[in-house]
Amino acid sequence: MEFLPKKNRDRSRLLYMAIGLFLLLDLAVLATTYWLSYQIAENAITINLAGRQRMLSQRMVKALLNLDRTVDQQHRAEALTELRLTFTLFDSTLHSLHRGGVTVGGDGLPVKIAAIRGGPAQALINEAEQIWNPYRDRVQALLSDPELMAQEKINSAIALANTKNLALLELMNSLTTALEESAITKTSRIRMLQIVTFSLAVFSFIQIILMMQRQLRKTSKHKETLNHVIHQINAGILVYDGDGIVHAANQSAGMLFGYDATDMIGMSESRFLFLQENILYGRRQDGSLFQAESQHRELMLDNVRMHLKTVADVTQQRQLENTLSQLAYHDALTGLPNRLLFDDRLNQNILSARRRDVKLAVLFVDLNKFKQVNDNHGHHIGDQLLREVAVRLRSCLREEDTVSRFGGDEFGILLTSVSGQEDCIVVITHLLETLRKVFITEGVMLFPAASIGVSLYPSDGDDEKILLRRADQAMYAAKRNSTCHFAFYTDAQQDLSRISDI
């Protein structure tokens, strides 16, 4: 290398420092992407466990009522086994959510989760723990001496369940929503960090270009300097003139597009990059495509205006973003919208219905005897049934309607622009008939059935929480009616507790 004056050597050092900073920021963007995927996976486990608590609390109450009502010893033993199983699983999961620890996941395998810390979710889990403590003591007292189960112990546990279970259900619903909102907030913050880091990387790169331009004005070897600098940068770089003819390409660009970098000189820039439906694509030598991201800047070389473009393959990043969006707003098992997306669509449709003065309906769907499917045939058969139910429900609805899986065997449906109960009855009859059709998988023949509760906007409520709660109450009324498997909300259902609905 030829001797350079001290001022030029100082400029060179600054240039290489800027290149080093650019590389560090590039690594930081990659690190935040991996951190984001880890956070989403951890949040998904916690949200699923919180949603399962609702189903477990209902099963505990049902087991208590069966102990109270059943005189047959075999049935009492089955109820006792069910109570012990659901109690242990609910208690260990709540303890893990509150203090951190190991519980049993949806696949029956141990799963370690961190304690919920900070925000509304921690307040909800603390409140749930306080409500659960006396309830747990009563049930433990009942389970501690199963051979001498005094009726007063059963009555005592049921009495406390009557006062505490509804509060636990509401807290578990609120906890699931709070965790989903927290997950979205965390994701947004990490994505903001990605944007800031990427912006700093772009700023650093611009500084590199500006420093290069200053050096190029001070030395006669500016083209050699430019080639040396761009070959040190990981991103693909193309330098082309106003006609789009490439004058320089670095080694990273050659590897990205599948060429020797020197062979790209003289080719048109449009041969490598093109827009399709507002998405930038890169075209490799073998004809394969990748999603690209680029930054553009003009610069002067030998008094000629040139264009410098950095190019990166973001195919995996876009796929990861799509995957993260799917995890955040959709149920992993069925692919249906989850509770968070359902609530958002319900809120938007309420606002639209209010402006247009139309009605809409909220349906709360609960599968009947789903637990028996899991107990008799295994959870993998239960999962297949849930997927089939999701397909059947979706097939009965219009494109503008929404079907969502809330968790366990519970689904929500939003019907937009209905005239009243008559429209709903037509849809519900079709839903029930479709669900009743035989489902055969792995040699197992199943006949699905469901109970459906309905609330109408605006007659039954004017916000999403009230409409969902009243559809839920109507669903329990439908469960009590053995002849009709659906019910519309009425004021008479307002004061009925879920304990008597099971």
Pairwise CA distance, residues 84 & 62, whole Å:
12
What value does the mean pLDDT take over residues 315-342? 84
From residue 332, give the alpha-carbon distance in Å to each of 98, 322, 323: 24, 14, 11
What value does the mean pLDDT take over residues 408-431? 95
For residue 139, the model assigns a pLDDT of 83
For residue 388, the model assigns a pLDDT of 96
pLDDT band for position 268 (cuts 50, 70, 90): very high
What value does the mean pLDDT take over residues 267-281? 91
pLDDT > 90: percent of the chain: 35
For residue 149, the model assigns a pLDDT of 54
Per-residue DSSP letters for 383-427?
A: HHHHHHHHHHHHHTS-TT-EEEEEETTEEEEEEEEE-SHHHHHHH
For residue 216, the model assigns a pLDDT of 56
pLDDT band for position 110 (cuts 50, 70, 90): confident
What value does the mean pLDDT take over residues 462-484? 90
pLDDT band for position 100 (cuts 50, 70, 90): confident
Residue type, 314: V
39 neighbors 191 (Cβ within 8 angstroms): no
What value does the mean pLDDT take over residues 413-434? 95
pLDDT band for position 425 (cuts 50, 70, 90): very high
Specify the CATH class of 220-327 in words: alpha beta
pTM above 0.75, yes or no: no
Backbone phi, psi, residue 86, to 5°: -70, -35
pLDDT band for position 336 (cuts 50, 70, 90): very high
Q: Which residue has the tokens 């320089």?
A: 248
Pairwise CA distance, residues 418 & 454, whole Å:
12
For residue 49, the model assigns a pLDDT of 83
For residue 224, the model assigns a pLDDT of 58
32 neighbors 201 (Cβ within 8 angstroms): no
Pairing of strands 289-301, 304-313: antiparallel
Question: Which of the listed CATH numbers 2.60.40.10, 3.40.50.720, 1.20.120.1730, 1.10.3720.10 matches domain 30-193?
Answer: 1.20.120.1730
Pairwise CA distance, residues 263 & 296, whole Å:
22
Domain boundaries, the chain: 30-193, 220-327, 330-501
What value does the mean pLDDT take over residues 470-490? 89
Residue from 269, 242, 277, 275 nearest 253 by CA: 269
pLDDT band for position 14 (cuts 50, 70, 90): low
Q: Which residue has the tokens 């006669």?
A: 220
Higher pLDDT, 49 or 338: 338
pLDDT > 70: percent of the chain: 84
Sequence-distant contacts of 191-200: CB under 8 A, at least 24 apart: 191/36, 193/32, 194/29, 194/32, 194/33, 194/36, 197/25, 197/28, 197/29, 197/32, 198/25, 198/29, 200/25
Backbone phi, psi, residue 3, to 5°: -65, 135
Assigned CATH topology for domain 330-501: Alpha-Beta Plaits (3.30.70)
Higher pLDDT, 390 or 308: 390
For residue 128, the model assigns a pLDDT of 84
The two three-digit tokens of residue 55, written as one number: 């189903």
From residue 277, give the alpha-carbon distance in Å to each of 64, 280, 282: 60, 8, 14
Pairwise CA distance, residues 279 & 293, whole Å:
9
Residue type, 406: F
Mean pLDDT of the chain: 82
For residue 437, the model assigns a pLDDT of 95
